[in-house]
């Protein structure tokens, strides 16, 4: 089991775009661990000179060398896993998440967010981070404990999709913005392309469910991940349709769609499928169990494709 390091550089990142045809910048074996640096902060979001905020290593070079794409995120990768084929499942264990800079930002802008009509202007706040205490202090007063996670974690999209913005999450994961995916959690992604081609970015220091103003505490993070490949039934019979996850305390299903009702439906159906796989119960019994024992949360409402995730506490049903 090898250990690798992947820094964020102009040669290892993509700005605002995902594509199943991107060649990997690193190839590993199942069971290997990779520490991956990500950076955040596009040109419009950088603090002014003399602010006292650190610039993450490599960010200036990246912004100068790599033109922006259609989406807002800087992502690192792809990382390919030897032997991965369409229809397989990629287990991504989030071993550790480290803070990468002493600030973050939060903004809203016209025509974005959950209530865009109520805020038809742009407002950006720079938020200091205490990296030792792992807290941030909001300029308007409160101090918040951090719970860092990566907003974007994806396998390579289906080649038929072509180039995609990093904004919308889909069946390959992507901009999930799921605050439950902190260190100690595991994300399970469908594999749609040879190698799986994992990509990660969009560091968040802290976020509430919904991410309603369109941003969280946007900041740079470095993650350590262990990748385990699970062979599936081939491209015509994939092992997984949508991303799933597991935290130390819960099992998670996910639903994604531009219609929040449809996203809810998908999250429920995915949880029913998961319960049936684990127990052998009928779909009807699993459906009733979802109503009795599963909490469904709105993940985010700001990425075009909205998200819902179901949470089943471990030990409650099986």
Distance between CA atoms of residues 35 and 7, nearest Å: 8
Give residue-wise pLDDT tens across range 57-80: 789 899 999 999 999 999 999 999
Distance between CA atoms of residues 208 and 205, nearest Å: 11
| C-beta of residue 232 within 8 angstroms of C-beta of residue 110 | no
Among residues 161, 318, 299, 160, which one has the least CA distance to residue 243?
299
Distance between CA atoms of residues 202 and 251, nearest Å: 23
Residue 113: DSSP 8-state: S
For the chain, the average pLDDT equals 96
| C-beta of residue 100 within 8 angstroms of C-beta of residue 39 | yes
* Cβ atoms within 10 Å, residue 159: 13
- Taking residues 199-216, report their average pLDDT: 98
Residue 233 has pLDDT above 90, yes or no: no
- Taking residues 41-58, report their average pLDDT: 86
* Cβ atoms within 10 Å, residue 302: 20
- Taking residues 115-140, report their average pLDDT: 97
Q: Positive or negative CA dihedral for 85, 185, 216, 201?
A: negative
Give residue-wise pLDDT tens across range 150-198: 999 999 999 999 999 999 999 999 999 999 999 999 999 999 999 999 9
Q: Which residues pair with 296 in a beta bridge?
A: 310
Tokens of 113: 């967010």
pLDDT confidence of residue 50: 82
Cβ contacts of 65 within 8 Å, gap of 6 or more: 10
pLDDT confidence of residue 298: 98
The CATH code belonging to domain 3-237 is: 2.60.120.580
Pick the range with the lowest mean pLDDT from 44-48, 110-114, 299-303: 44-48
Instruction: Select the more confidently predicted residue: 204 or 1.
Output: 204
Distance between CA atoms of residues 146 and 240, nearest Å: 31
Distance between CA atoms of residues 176 and 202, nearest Å: 10
pLDDT confidence of residue 51: 85
Q: In Å, how far from its chain's centre is CA 207? A: 12
pLDDT confidence of residue 114: 97
Give residue-wise pLDDT tens across range 6-29: 999 999 999 999 999 999 999 999
Q: How confident is the model at residue 300 (pLDDT cuts 50, 70, 90)?
A: very high
Residue 253 has pLDDT above 90, yes or no: yes
- Residue 18 host element (H or E): strand 17-18
**3 state DSSP class of 31:** coil
Among residues 273, 233, 227, 266, which one has the least CA distance to residue 251?
273
| In the chain, domain spans | 3-237, 249-318
pLDDT confidence of residue 68: 93
Could you name the CATH architecture of 249-318? Roll (3.10)
Tokens of 172: 């390959």
Distance between CA atoms of residues 267 and 244, nearest Å: 10
Residue 49 has pLDDT above 90, yes or no: no
pLDDT confidence of residue 58: 84
- What's the angle, vertex CA 245, arms to CA 254 and CA 194, rounded to 5? 90
Tokens of 128: 């200091």
pLDDT confidence of residue 56: 79
- Residue 37 host element (H or E): strand 33-37
Percent of the chain, pLDDT > 70?
100
Distance between CA atoms of residues 86 and 240, nearest Å: 10
């Amino acid at each position: 089991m090898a250990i690798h390091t992947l820094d964020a550089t102009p040669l290892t990142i993509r700005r605002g775009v995902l594509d199943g045809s991107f060649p990997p910048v690193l190839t590993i074996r199942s069971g290997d661990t990779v520490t991956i640096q990500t950076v955040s902060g596009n040109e419009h979001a950088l603090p002014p000179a003399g602010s006292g905020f650190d610039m993450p290593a490599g960010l200036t070079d990246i912004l100068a060398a790599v033109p922006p794409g259609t989406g807002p995120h800087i992502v690192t990768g792809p990382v390919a896993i030897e032997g991965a084929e369409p229809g397989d499942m990629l287990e991504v264990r989030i071993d550790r998440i480290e803070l990468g800079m002493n600030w973050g930002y939060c903004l809203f802008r016209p025509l974005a967010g959950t209530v865009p009509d109520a805020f038809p202007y742009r407002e950006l706040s720079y938020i200091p981070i205490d990296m030792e205490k792992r807290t941030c202090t909001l300029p308007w007063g409160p101090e918040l404990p951090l719970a860092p996670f990566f907003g974007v974690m994806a396998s390579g999209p289906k080649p038929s999709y072509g180039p995609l913005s990093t904004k919308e999450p889909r069946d390959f994961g992507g901009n999930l913005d799921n605050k439950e995916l902190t260190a100690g959690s595991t994300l399970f992604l469908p594999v749609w392309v040879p190698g799986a081609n994992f990509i990660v970015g969009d560091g968040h220091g802290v976020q509430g469910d919904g991410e309603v103003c369109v941003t969280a505490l946007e900041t740079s993070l470095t993650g350590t991940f262990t990748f385990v490949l699970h062979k599936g039934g081939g491209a015509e019979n994939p092992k997984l349709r949508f991303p799933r996850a597991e935290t130390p305390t819960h099992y998670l299903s996910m639903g994604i769609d531009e219609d929040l009702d449809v996203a809810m439906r998908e999250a429920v159906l995915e949880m029913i499928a998961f319960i049936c796989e684990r127990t052998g119960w009928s779909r009807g019994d699993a459906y009733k169990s979802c109503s009795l024992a599963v909490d469904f949360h709105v993940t985010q409402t700001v990425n075009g494709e909205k998200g819902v995730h179901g949470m089943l506490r471990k030990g409650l049903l099986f």
